[in-house]
């Protein structure tokens, strides 16, 4: 009985769950043996290296920017689990022939803060400023007496690709300054977008488009014109923000248009929301908070500074690790794969499972436990998988149910492998017959106790038998019996639907004996019933199990039978 109860509890075919039944956040150390963790970490590192080479050397974006950032964070997390805390540096080795250059001053990274981290940062500092975190490619520009003499990609923060020749071709990057200053500027080359609203179009591909423009051998004039420049710092300029902004404006840069001081009326949350939901000429992925006064440039390094932090936008798609795969059989026999995930959060919604909707999609993607998938919210409510970002090296064995085994006329009775479909049939029946408070949980308990073993097995159940089910006492048993008794008075049309009559049939066509006598040709003669529906209806009314149930209903004096 225990085995039967477990089988009926939730029918899982080929389900393989990593780490038992405990849910943990994906950024924690995976519950794998160290050897497997090392193998999967190496695989992820190889994927990141491929993405980096395509992005920086060929100008191709093989993965969405938001997912790439999450993948790099996951790589760092897994490496830390193995005791390796070396930060990811995508361009420590540059493979293009254009050469590399040292940055005059290090391009600092930024620590990422959550809501609580932003509150701590702002509560301990005064005179703070904010900028949009423009989503493009970082660049260092060096001017000597007003002339652009060097442009360097971010690289690893200390050294990057020599972009000088290409920068001279970009209309947005001045080759000569209006004032003959010697200076170093740090900023972002971005893809110019018209009235871009980040919250409405998160996957713009803007970062990849800029990388492509910088990597192409001979980009067109239109491509060069689409590359804009946002200067976000002047390392060897004035240390005070207000003075720095005024002088950048005098040089023709628009930094001041997108750099604002924080106050009680317009705090960090205000600007973050405004830039996330408002129109901008570039893609953004968050905001950057900075102190007005910062250390002199000689104290800079490529490590994240203490005087600035990044506050990213809420994730609009998440990189989720598959914990297990479950195959559910529905009322009509449709097999639907369900992915169990290590929980992720999107738009404040915690997501731990997502349907693939069809067995064909699972077969095409071949998703196994340990795989990493991209998850979004359709209509801001329904989670859906949009892609398999990468697959685990270790492929767990899965056995999916054969779609030929389950269909519209299978599993009216509890036989081996029929638990899930029968449960779905019973849940649908109670809904069609108006049974109040009788749902999947009730039917599951009755199946587990052996009280209900077929679609109409509840009709003769006594209160004593009902009380054999877990959680059903005398009061609940009496209430269930009352619901079962009331269901007998449901309309003939409701009963036809509850039994699973295919579309095209109707109670208005006659009683059961009349419909049972319809041939395929009779059904197809009805308006709206084509060959496929006619076949389904003829098969339904002639099926031995269906006819057996009809006889039971006739003997129980159910109207129409």
Q: Where are the alpha helices (DSSP H) in 133-176?
A: 164-169
Closest CA to 279 of 132, 114, 467: 132
243: CB partners within 8 A, 6+ apart: none
CA pair distance 192, 135, nearest whole angstrom: 11
CA pair distance 487, 485, nearest whole angstrom: 5
Query: Residue with structure tokens 């740090």?
Result: 186
Contact 131, 119 (CB under 8 A): no
Helix (H, G, I), strand (E, B) or coil at 70: helix
Contact 538, 523 (CB under 8 A): yes
Burial category of 499 from C-beta neighbours within 10 Å (exposed 0-12, middle 13-18, buried 19 and up): buried
Burial category of 31 from C-beta neighbours within 10 Å (exposed 0-12, middle 13-18, buried 19 and up): middle
Please confirm, yes or no, whether 133 is among the known catalytic residues. Answer: yes
Q: Which DSSP symbol is given to 400?
A: P
Cβ neighbour number for residue 465 with a 10 Å cutoff: 18
Per 3-state DSSP, what percentage of the chain is helix, strand, and coil (rounded to 5)? Answer: 35, 20, 45
Q: Which DSSP symbol is given to 9?
A: H
CA pair distance 501, 523, nearest whole angstrom: 13
558: CB partners within 8 A, 6+ apart: 488, 492, 495
Burial category of 296 from C-beta neighbours within 10 Å (exposed 0-12, middle 13-18, buried 19 and up): exposed
Contact 357, 336 (CB under 8 A): yes
Query: Residue with structure tokens 């990044």?
Result: 310
The active-site residue out of 3, 9, 133, 290 is 133
Which residues belong to the active site?
A: 133
């Amino acid at each position: 009985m225990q085995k039967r109860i477990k089988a009926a509890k939730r029918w899982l075919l080929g389900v393989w769950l990593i780490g038992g039944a405990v849910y943990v956040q994906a950024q924690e150390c995976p519950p794998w043996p160290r050897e497997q963790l090392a193998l999967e970490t190496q695989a992820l590192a190889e994927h990141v290296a491929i993405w980096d080479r395509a992005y920086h050397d060929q100008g191709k974006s093989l993965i969405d920017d938001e997912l790439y950032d999450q993948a790099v964070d996951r790589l760092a997390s897994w490496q830390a689990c193995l005791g390796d805390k070396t930060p990811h540096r995508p361009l420590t080795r540059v493979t293009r022939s254009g050469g590399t250059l040292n940055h005059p001053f290090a391009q600092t990274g930024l620590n990422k803060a959550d809501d609580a981290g932003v509150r701590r940062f702002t509560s301990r500092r005064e005179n703070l400023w904010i900028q949009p975190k423009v989503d493009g490619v970082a660049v260092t520009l060096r001017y000597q007496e007003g002339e652009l003499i060097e442009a360097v990609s971010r690289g690893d923060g200390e050294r990057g690709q020599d972009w000088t020749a290409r920068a001279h071709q970009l209309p947005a990057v001045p080759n000569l300054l209006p004032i003959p200053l010697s200076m170093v500027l740090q900023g972002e080359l971005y893809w110019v977008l018209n009235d871009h609203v980040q919250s409405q179009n998160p996957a713009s591909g803007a970062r990849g488009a800029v990388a492509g423009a910088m990597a192409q051998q001979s980009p067109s004039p239109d491509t060069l014109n689409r590359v804009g420049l946002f200067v976000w710092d002047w390392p060897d300029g004035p240390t005070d923000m207000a003075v720095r902004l005024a002088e950048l404006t005098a040089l023709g840069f628009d930094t001041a248009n997108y750099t604002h001081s924080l106050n009680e009326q317009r705090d960090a949350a205000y600007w973050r929301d405004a830039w996330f939901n408002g129109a901008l000429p570039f893609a953004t992925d968050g905001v950057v908070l900075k102190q007005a006064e910062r250390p002199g440039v000689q104290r800079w390094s490529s490590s994240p500074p203490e005087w600035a932090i990044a506050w990213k936008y809420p994730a609009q798609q998440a990189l989720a690790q598959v914990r297990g795969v479950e195959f559910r059989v529905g009322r009509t026999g449709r097999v639907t794969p369900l992915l169990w995930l290590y929980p992720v959060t999107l738009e404040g919604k915690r997501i731990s499972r997502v349907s693939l909707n069809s067995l064909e999609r699972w077969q095409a993607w071949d998703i196994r436990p340990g795989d990493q998938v991209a998850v979004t919210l359709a209509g801001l409510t329904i989670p859906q998988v949009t892609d398999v970002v990468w697959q685990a090296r270790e492929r767990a064995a899965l056995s999916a149910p054969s779609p030929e085994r389950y269909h519209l006329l299978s599993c009216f009775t509890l036989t081996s492998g029929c638990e899930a479909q029968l449960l779905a049939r019973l849940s649908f029946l109670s809904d069609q017959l108006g049974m109040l408070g009788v749902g999947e949980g009730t039917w599951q308990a009755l199946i587990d106790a052996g009280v209900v073993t077929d679609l109409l097995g509840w009709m003769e159940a006594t209160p004593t038998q009902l009380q054999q089910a877990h959680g059903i006492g005398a009061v609940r048993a009496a209430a269930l019996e009352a619901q079962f008794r009331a269901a007998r008075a449901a309309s003939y049309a409701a009963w036809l639907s509850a039994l699973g009559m295919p579309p095209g049939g109707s109670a208005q066509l006659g009683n059961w004996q009349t419909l049972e006598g319809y041939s395929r040709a009779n059904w197809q003669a009805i308006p709206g019933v084509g060959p496929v529906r006619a076949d389904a209806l003829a098969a339904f009314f002639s099926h031995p199990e269906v006819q057996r149930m009809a006889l039971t209903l006739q003997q129980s004096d159910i109207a129409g039978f």
